[in-house]
Amino acid sequence: MYIGRFAPSPTGPIHFGSLVTAVASYLDAKHHDGIWKIRMEDLDQPRFVEGSDKAIINSLHQHGFHWDDEIIYQSHRIDIYQTYLSNLNQQGSTYFCECSRKEIADSAMTGIDGMIYPGTCRNKKLDANHHALRIIAKDTFITFEDKIQGSIHQNISKDFGDFILKRSDGIYAYQLAVVIDDALQNINTIIRGADLIDSTSRQIYLQKNLSFPSMNYGHIPIATLNQKKLSKENHSTPVNDANIKNNLIACLKFLGQDYELIEKENTLTNFWTTAIQLWDISLVPKIKTIEI
């Protein structure tokens, strides 16, 4: 059984870019008679905007999405992350790091997604004391077949280096939490924005280290405005809940779908039934960004 999900960060109301991700992940799951779950990724409490989780949920509801199970919040799952992190510590796969951003910037090479940490603290045997915790990136090749973007082949140590699992401010890193939650929620297919495609091989690496099953991935193009990703942080216009049908049609167009028949439906229920039937992931543009 297909089990998919949508995992917004509650840092503001839903904008066009996140609505597109919700639509794509929902249609792909439902087209395969699957389950679709919602998870609130609210670990980064300083970025959390009070009430935006409710606003996102309300907006999804207004747009006619039906999710399965209760919505889970990452901020309620700290003990779970710590348990898995302790397993990694016991395996000797991690170490504490005291380097500042500046020290890293001065000595590191740039990789696929930011700096490649040069391993300065690997053998220092530091204790927890406000230090970040990193996983040792072994010389491992990860290959996966993305349902949209095609084949991806990366080397964990050469392309990313030892990456952070827990930040020095005590916040569990996205890469760790997402892998644990996807596994414990029995997710098997992840459809999300292409801005996360370079996180995927690190997530697969963590899955292997934690003996979790692997997933299927599809990364849809992200919407950009003046070359910048639409995000809640750059105050992209929130979607207008009064224009439900227009919003959804705009998402289908963005995703390259044949929307003429769907557009003719006059109830939201029929709209979704037809959109689910006609969903064709092979029509989604195989590019990382689309300027809107």
Q: Closest separation between CB of residue 192 and ligand GLU, Å? A: 4
253 is in an annotated binding site: no
Strand ordering across the sheet containing 132-135: 94-97, 132-135, 164-166
Binding mask 124-163 for ligand GLU (x = CB under 6 A): ----------------------------------------
- With binding defined as CB under 6 A, does residue 41 bind ligand GLU? yes
In the bound state with ligand GLU, the residue whose beta carbon lies nearer, of 40 and 121, is 40
Q: For tokens 């699957």, name the residue.
A: 34
Phi, psi of 13 (to 5 degrees): -70, 160
Binding mask 1-20 for ligand GLU (x = CB under 6 A): ------xxx-----------
Q: Closest separation between CB of residue 9 and ligand GLU, Å? A: 4
Q: For tokens 């099953």, name the residue.
A: 213
251 is in an annotated binding site: no
In the bound state with ligand GLU, the residue whose beta carbon lies nearer, of 121 and 176, is 176
Both tokens of 13, joined, read 């109301």
Q: Closest separation between CB of residue 52 and ligand GLU, Å? A: 11
Among 15, 30, 134, 192, indicate the residue that binds ligand GLU (CB under 6 A): 192
Q: Closest separation between CB of residue 234 and ligand GLU, Å? A: 13
| Cα dist from 282 to 24, 28, 186, 257, 274, whole Å | 12, 11, 25, 9, 17
| Cα dist from 52 to 26, 42, 223, 244, 292, whole Å | 21, 10, 21, 19, 24
Q: Closest separation between CB of residue 131 and ligand GLU, Å? A: 25
- With binding defined as CB under 6 A, does residue 178 bind ligand GLU? yes
In the bound state with ligand GLU, the residue whose beta carbon lies nearer, of 15 and 131, is 15
110 CB-contact burial (10 Å; exposed 0-12 / middle 13-18 / buried 19+): exposed
CA distance 244 to 143: 39
In the bound state with ligand GLU, the residue whose beta carbon lies nearer, of 121 and 197, is 197
| Cα dist from 73 to 12, 44, 65, 119, whole Å | 16, 12, 19, 33
Q: Binding site membership: which residues?
A: 5-9, 41, 97, 99, 117, 121, 174, 192, 232
- Residues making contact with ligand GLU (CB under 6 A): 7-9, 41, 178, 192, 196
Q: Binding site membership for ATP: which residues?
A: 232
